[in-house]
Structure formats: structure tokens, C-alpha cells
Amino acid sequence: MKIKVISADASRAEELADWVRASGPGLNVLSAEGTVAGLPEVINGSRPGLIVVDGVDIDGLDAIGLLANSHPEVDAIVISAEQSPAFLMKAMQAGVREVLLPPQDGAALQAAVQRMARKRTSAAPAPPAAPVQGEVLSFMGCKGGSGASFLAANLAYVLSVRDERSVALLDLDLQFGDTLLMLSDQRPTSDVAEVAANIGRLDEDLLRSAMVQISGKLAVLPSPDELSHSLEIKAMHIEAIIRQARQMFDFVVIDIGRSVDSVSLQALDMSDRIMPVLQLTVPQVRDAKRLRKLFRSLEYPAQKIHWVVNRYQKSGDISLDSVQQSLGCKEVVTVPNHFAGVSASINQGVPIEKLARNNPVARSLLELAQAIAPMENAKKERWLASLFGN
């Protein structure tokens, strides 16, 4: 692989080039004195597969982005003391593969070059394993305030901790999504709109870098902060994001929101299970019946739809049997009413299973997770023992 190392200081460029040469055999490494603005002149003629650019500031990323557009075959590693979220996000958008702090001994730079070399020098790769096809679960509120977002976020968390399954939570309530707030107080550096804007470069690295890592097994792709950004998201973007996510995670949990449009329909089409959420009130049951008609018109099989009654109370005015008759379904999932526990979980931004494991809502989510992904009896017993301290 041909590599060119560029720095404004010639001796620094050669020092970096020596470290790169030590990364492994078969590397054709050249050094050059130059600036980010002069990259086209440095690249033209030599045609490296990888450039290592030293001393890049946030303004210099514009030149790297232009280079990526004109020479998509050239990968870039950037060395910069700037490591702010804004810088890292702009670097990702510019097509930079890795951003490194100024190296002291060359180890980090060599590791980065080795990763890039492995991607490029597999002349005869082994036949790829069949891609993982994670299960897609979509929650959709029959009416505002149904609790669909809370259930989506908390089920995603339970699935990720009970059996070490990897879970992606995609917030596709593009106007008013807030699933991240229900799990963490972390501030996102990217969102669905940012990924959609760079959909041509979508791969595992880009999607992971755009997500907020809640735990080792759970990551969230938030909805846009700016309402105007949601208008740029199209069905084809959602298709690509879900397809990529299900190759990376065991489960992809989606909060769809209430809108019925090309974006939400794309997510529904790709879902293995659709979980419409309603409460036992006349307006919500009426809207549930409307959704049922929509699902039938889309020719979704009955086994794909799993109705969820949230805040269920046996003493309510509307019986569960009457709802089942109205919706033409034999079974519904029920989540009990426990306003205080759910409210505390939402306000603190802590999953209810983590905040209050013995809460009836937490227990019902565990039962739902078991129904979706059954654990072996021995593993289940160990899980329950650790969970409830038995």
C-alpha cells in the first residue's frame, strides 16, 4: 500500500514516515512537506491509498473533505491536538477514517495504519460469513402520551442487560423524539439527520460513531434536535440505516412515533414485530382500530402485530376482552399502571429496571423480553438470582 505522510515541517514529516514504515512490511511510505491547503498538489501524481496529515485544525478539515470528494479512493488519518466533539464530527463528515493525538512514540499511529492496511491488502479474502440479521422491533403509539417511547427505550435496555444481547435503539420520532433522555443524560454529538446526510458513506464505523453508547451492549441513535433537519430524512435513508444496524446488533428497537408517512412506513415494512401501544381510553382504542385497518391494507401478517396495553388496570372502564374483540386479536401484552415509578425513571433519565427492579412495570418488561428472546432455564435462573438477590 502506498502511503504519503504530510506535515508543515519536513523533519516532522520524515519522523512520522519512519514510524509508519515500522508498521509492517510491504508499505511504500513517502514523506512530504506541505499544508492541508496544498493537498491536491501533494496527492496528484503519487496517488497514495492513504494519507497521514499532521497538525490539522478544524478549518483544515474543509480541504480534506474536498479531497475526499475528488479522490474517494484515498483514505485519510488526521493527527491533531484538537479533540472536541465538534472537530470529531466534522472530521467524520469530511471522510477522515481516524483522528489521532500527536503521537509520542508512534504506537497509536502504527496501530491505525495497520488497521487501514488490513482493509486494503486482503487480496483474496475468505468468503464472508453470512451477515447477522438482528431482529427489528418497532414501537408505535396509537395516540400521543401512550407511553410507546418509554417502553421502547426500557425494553431495549432490558434486552441488552439480561442476556448480553447487543441492542440498537433508533429514535425515528423525528419531530419530538426523546428516548435518549429516558436512559441517560449524555449529550449526543450526532443524530439520525447527520447519518442521513452522509448516507453514501454509511458503514459500521460511521453508524457507531453517530450513536450514544449507553452501556457495552446498548447504543442509541437519537432523533434530530432541530425540527428542520428532520425534513431532509427520506425513506431510503431509513432503509439503509436499519439494514446496517441489523447487521451490527442482535436487536434493533425503533421508536417510530405516531406519524404515518414514507419514513415510518419504511421502518414498519422492515420490522419483524410491530408493537402498537395504547391505553384503555375511548380515543386511544379508536385510533388503534384505525391503525389495525392500516396494517391490514399493507397486508402485514397477523403474527407481525403485537398489541401492547400500557398503564393497564383491571378495574378500568374498558375491559381487555372488549379491546381484543375490537382489534380482532387473541392476545395483548399488558404493562401495569405504576405512575410514580415510571415518572421517577423518566425524570431521572434512568431505566426503570435499573432504578427499581421490583417495580411491576420493570417486571412486565422482563417478561416481555423473555417472550421475545427466551433464555435457557439455567441462564434464566442465574439471571433472576442476580437480579433480585435470591
Instruction: Name the residue ranges covered by the structural domains of the chain.
Output: 2-120, 135-388
pLDDT at 122 over 60: no
With bands split at pLDDT 50, 70 and 90, how would you rate the model's confidence at 88?
confident
Mean pLDDT of 86-99: 87
pLDDT at 383 over 90: no
pLDDT at 389 over 90: no
Q: What pLDDT is stored for residue 243 in this prediction?
A: 95
Q: CA-to-CA distance for 15 and 305, rounded, in angstroms?
A: 61
Q: Return the minimum-mean-pLDDT range out of 19-28, 238-247, 359-368.
A: 19-28
Mean pLDDT of 307-332: 92
Q: Return the minimum-mean-pLDDT range out of 122-131, 197-206, 234-243, 267-276.
A: 122-131
Closest CA to 1 of 49, 65, 40: 49
Same fold, 2-120 and 135-388: yes
CATH of region 2-120? 3.40.50.2300
Q: CA-to-CA distance for 287 and 285, rounded, in angstroms?
A: 5
215: left (phi over 0), alpha (psi -120 to 50) or beta: beta
CATH superfamily of the domain spanning 135-388: P-loop containing nucleotide triphosphate hydrolases (3.40.50.300)
Mean pLDDT of 354-376: 90
Q: CA-to-CA distance for 313 and 335, rounded, in angstroms?
A: 9
In the chain, which residue ranges form alpha helices assigned H by DSSP? Answer: 10-21, 39-43, 60-70, 85-93, 107-120, 148-162, 192-197, 204-210, 227-230, 235-248, 262-269, 282-297, 320-327, 339-348, 352-355, 360-372, 377-388
Residues linked to residue 336 through DSSP beta bridges, in sequence order: 312
Q: CA-to-CA distance for 23 and 107, rounded, in angstroms?
A: 9
3-state SS, 74-102, equals CEEEEECCCCCHHHHHHHHHCCCCEEECC
pLDDT in tens, 202-238: 999 999 999 999 998 999 999 999 988 999 999 999 9
Mean pLDDT of 150-176: 94
pLDDT in tens, 6-53: 999 999 999 999 999 988 888 889 888 888 888 877 666 567 888 999
The mean pLDDT of the chain is 89
Q: CA-to-CA distance for 154 and 353, rounded, in angstroms?
A: 8
CB 20 within 8 Å of CB 29 = yes
pLDDT at 77 over 90: yes
Tell me which long-range contacts 366-369 makes (C-beta under 8 A, separation of at least 24).
366/158, 366/162, 368/155, 368/158, 368/333, 368/335, 369/155, 369/158, 369/159, 369/162
Q: Model pTM?
A: 0.66
CB 246 within 8 Å of CB 204 = no
Mean pLDDT of 280-307: 94
CB 151 within 8 Å of CB 182 = no
Q: What pLDDT is stored for residue 132 in this prediction?
A: 60
Packing angle of the helix pair 360-372, 148-162 (nearest 10 deg): 70
With bands split at pLDDT 50, 70 and 90, how would you rate the model's confidence at 306?
very high
Q: CA-to-CA distance for 143 and 279, rounded, in angstroms?
A: 9
Q: CA-to-CA distance for 255 and 206, rounded, in angstroms?
A: 21
